[in-house]
């Protein structure tokens, strides 16, 4: 399975990618929402996007809105991974089409638990 | 200038300590116990770097991280899982300490009512001129023996 990690911080892209690779994902990266849209165009096999909120050029929220307008990406799971922890921000993102919300800082276990909840990882199967 | 009511919850350093300890234990050290309140006088930072994010809103606020270059390099190595002897580029340094400031700033922001948007991180080696602004809080931590500071400022429009 392929995942797209979207964050303007290379450090954070690496941390998130390491977690995803550890549970069997192949990861590609984007440093903002616009690059992420281009990556989705180029990689039709992406099943998961992990999305930061605050990024230059195009924010994560704008990316979610743009991605949800594309019927062919309807099955791509969108998970926000961000410091934006206010209730109204979370509600906005979920209403726009994000499936899950992870707050920074996080542990690998938090990300994996969310992926299990979303049905993207089955640790029993991996064992 | 008095502390804006919306930021009063953060005039107590314990809130910031809790945020910072959570960040360090989950994403930097992988275990708790390595970040602690700095005891004694205000420390002197060797070759300091200043990293901040601003929170827009009715009262614009700055969350600033202060650390010596060597400490910032150690933080960068920890975040990027680099070897102890590996040199740290300026780009990696700015990325790593910027992300730390971003996470602290985002969590600080979530504790107050009606905050605005968070800006992208800025990293400088010169202390920004804050002479017209109001310091809400300045506190120092120890991390693996080295001092690290966090300051919250209410910015003058």
| Chain B positions in Cβ-Cβ contact with residue A113 (cut-off 8 Å) | none
Out of A19-28, A96-105, B11-20, least confident range: B11-20
Distance (Å, whole) CA B33 – CA B94: 25
Q: Is A86 on the interface with B (CB under 8 A)?
A: yes
pLDDT digit string (tens) for B20-71?
Answer: 999 999 999 999 999 999 998 999 999 999 999 999 877 788 999 999 999 9
The pLDDT of residue B22 is 95
Q: In CATH, what number is assigned to the domain containing residue B80?
A: 3.40.1550.10
Structural domain of B90 = 5-33+47-154
| Beta strand residue intervals within chain A, DSSP E | 2-6, 26-30, 46-51, 77-82, 100-103
| Chain A positions in Cβ-Cβ contact with residue B116 (cut-off 8 Å) | none
Name A78's Cβ contacts closer than 8 Å, sequence gap at least 6.
Answer: A49, A51, A64, A67, A68, A97, A98, A99, A100
Average pLDDT over residues A13-31: 97
B41 found inside a domain: no
The pLDDT of residue B10 is 66
Residue B1 clears pLDDT 70, i.e. is over it: no
Number of domains in chain B: 1
Average pLDDT over residues A62-66: 98
**Higher per-residue confidence, A115 vs B108:** A115
B137 found inside a domain: yes
Residue B40: exposure state from Cβ atoms within 10 A (0-12, 13-18, ≥19):
exposed
ipTM score of complex: 0.89
CB spacing of B102 vs A10 below 8 angstroms: no
> What band does A85 get if pLDDT is binned at 50, 70 and 90?
confident
Lookup: tokens for B113: 């009512």
Q: In CATH, what number is assigned to the domain containing residue A71?
A: 3.40.50.2300
Structural domain of A97 = 2-126
Average pLDDT over residues B118-127: 94
The pLDDT of residue B36 is 96
Contact status, residue A105 vs residue A40, Cβ threshold 8 Å: no
Query: Which of B93, B102, B112, B118 has the highest number of chain A CBs within 10 A, making it the mutation to test binding with A?
Result: B102
Q: Quick one: what percent of chain B has pLDDT higher than 70? A: 93
Average pLDDT over residues A50-74: 97
Query: Which of B72, B91, B97, B99 has the highest number of chain A CBs within 10 A, making it the mutation to test binding with A?
Result: B99
B139 found inside a domain: yes
Number of domains in chain A: 1
The pLDDT of residue B64 is 97
Distance (Å, whole) CA B105 – CA B52: 8
Average pLDDT over residues B8-23: 84
Lookup: tokens for A44: 């039709």
B42 found inside a domain: no
């Amino acid at each position: 399975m392929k995942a797209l990690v979207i964050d303007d911080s290379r450090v954070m892209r690496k941390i998130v990618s390491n977690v995803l690779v550890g549970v069997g994902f192949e990861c590609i990266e984007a440093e903002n929402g616009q690059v992420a849209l281009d990556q989705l165009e180029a990689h039709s096999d992406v099943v998961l996007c992990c999305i930061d909120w605050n990024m230059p050029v195009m924010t994560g929220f704008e990316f979610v809105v743009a991605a949800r307008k594309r019927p062919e990406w309807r099955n791509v799971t969108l998970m926000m991974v961000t410091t934006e922890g206010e209730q109204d921000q979370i509600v906005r993102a979920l209403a726009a089409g994000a499936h899950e919300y992870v707050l920074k800082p996080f542990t690998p276990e938090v990300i994996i638990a969310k992926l299990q909840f979303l049905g993207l990882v089955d640790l029993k199967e991996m064992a | 200038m008095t502390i804006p009511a919306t930021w009063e919850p953060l005039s107590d350093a314990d809130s910031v300590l809790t945020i910072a300890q959570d960040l360090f234990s989950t994403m930097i050290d992988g275990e708790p116990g390595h970040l602690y309140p700095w005891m004694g006088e205000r420390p002197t930072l060797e070759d300091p770097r200043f990293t901040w994010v601003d929170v827009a809103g009715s009262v614009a606020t700055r969350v600033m991280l202060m650390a010596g270059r060597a400490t910032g390099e150690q933080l960068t190595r920890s975040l990027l899982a680099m070897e102890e002897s590996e040199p740290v580029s300026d780009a990696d340094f700015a990325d790593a300490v910027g992300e730390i400031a971003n996470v602290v700033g985002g969590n600080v922001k979530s504790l107050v009512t009606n905050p605005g948007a968070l800006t992208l991180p800025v990293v400088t080696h010169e202390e920004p001129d804050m002479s017209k602004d109001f310091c809400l809080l300045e506190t120092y931590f120890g991390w693996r023996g080295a001092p690290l500071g966090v300051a919250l400022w209410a910015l003058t429009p």
